[in-house]
Amino acid sequence: MSHHEIPTGEKEARFAAQSVIVARILENGMRAYSEEITDLDAAFSTDDKVIRCIDEGTPGGVHLAGSGILMDAAQLTASLRAMGATGITSHSHCGAAGLYAKAQGLDPSLRYVGLV
């Protein structure tokens, strides 16, 4: 459900509930608030192990700028193996891929396809 589909009264109730949480975080800090959450790990786990770029706006998966293209290759490889990644996606006109291409002296307007 998008925020446009939520009735106004419910939006106000959700905002009020979030305001209480934000006030607690501001008062006691994020660490204290997170220690109160018994199932915090569940908020950061997913069955969808496909790496996606943060630019794509695609739901699910694990989001990294440029699908991890800016990370050190050894660090990225170790992280992907540790999390059990099942795939990596990309998209046209990726800002992170453009930064990578520029840093590597490549023409960012060209389309590169390769396997690691």
The pLDDT, as a whole number, for residue 57 is 67
Q: Helical H runs in 37-72?
A: 40-43
Please tell me the distance from the alpha carbon of residue 106 to that of residue 116, in angstroms, as a whole number.
18
Q: Give the tens place of pLDDT for each residue, 40-91.
A: 888 777 889 999 888 766 678 888 888 888 899 899 999 899 889 998 888 8
Q: In this structure, is the dihedral angle defined by the CA atoms of residues 67, 68, 69 and 73, taken in order, positive or negative?
A: negative
Helices (H), 44-115: 73-83, 95-103
Mean pLDDT, rounded, for 96-104: 86
pLDDT at 22: 92
Q: What pLDDT does 1 receive?
A: 59
**Phi, psi torsion values for 62, nearest 5 degrees:** -120, 125
Q: What is the mean pLDDT of the chain?
A: 83
pTM, 2 dp: 0.55
Residue-wise pLDDT for 1-51, tens only, equals: 566 788 888 888 988 889 999 999 999 999 999 898 888 888 777 889 999
